[in-house]
Amino acid sequence: MINKQNLWFLTLFSLILVLSVYYITMPNDLLTKAQEENVEEKDKKVKETVEEVSSLTAMRVSLEEERQDKMDDLQEQLTSDTIGSEEKNNLYEQLKYLNTLQSREEELEKAIKKEFKLDSFVKIDNNTVSVVCVSKEHNNPLANNIMRLIQSSYEDKMYITVKFQK
């Protein structure tokens, strides 16, 4: 007599056997069409994601790579045994400064987004602040207001440039 466990085994085995026979005897053109459709869907997704990447994102990535390279060099020098403690302190201060710059840039981008509802890219280099905003309007009062907003977060005089992109 067949028990329940054997019955389930035979049922599942026969189902697998039927499906494998069907797969083997299936015409090849159905498989190739399905594969081509999958490839086309993937191509569409890739094209859509490439179009979504804006110039601001490209600038951010470029700046981030540049800073990361600097930070890696500084960390490599910092871990070196050949330099003295004073030089290590200077290297550590430079690393700290780069991190501060990065956080300051993010704060300014958020402030511009909050105040003017504009996507922007901010780059700080010593006492120079470069801002690129995505806006349909390219007017001087808007640029002036952005400059005032940025200058209000600094005590020292900063040289601020504002560029607009569509």
pTM check: above 0.85: no
- Rounded to whole angstroms, how far apart are CA atoms 142 and 115? 11
So what's the pLDDT on residue 17?
86
Place 149 in a pLDDT band, splitting at 50, 70 and 90: very high
Q: Give me the residues paired with residue 159 across strands.
A: 128
Looking at this protein, which amino acid is placed at residue 141?
A: P
Given a cut of 70, whether residue 133 has pLDDT beyond it is: yes
Give residue-wise pLDDT tens across range 65-117: 999 999 889 888 888 888 888 888 898 899 899 999 999 999 999 999 999 98
Which two tokens mark 161?
């440039």
Instruction: Between 143 and 166, name the one with better pLDDT.
Output: 143
Give residue-wise pLDDT tens across range 23-61: 777 766 665 666 667 666 666 655 544 443 478 888 888
So what's the pLDDT on residue 51?
41
- Rounded to whole angstroms, how far apart are CA atoms 43 and 53? 16
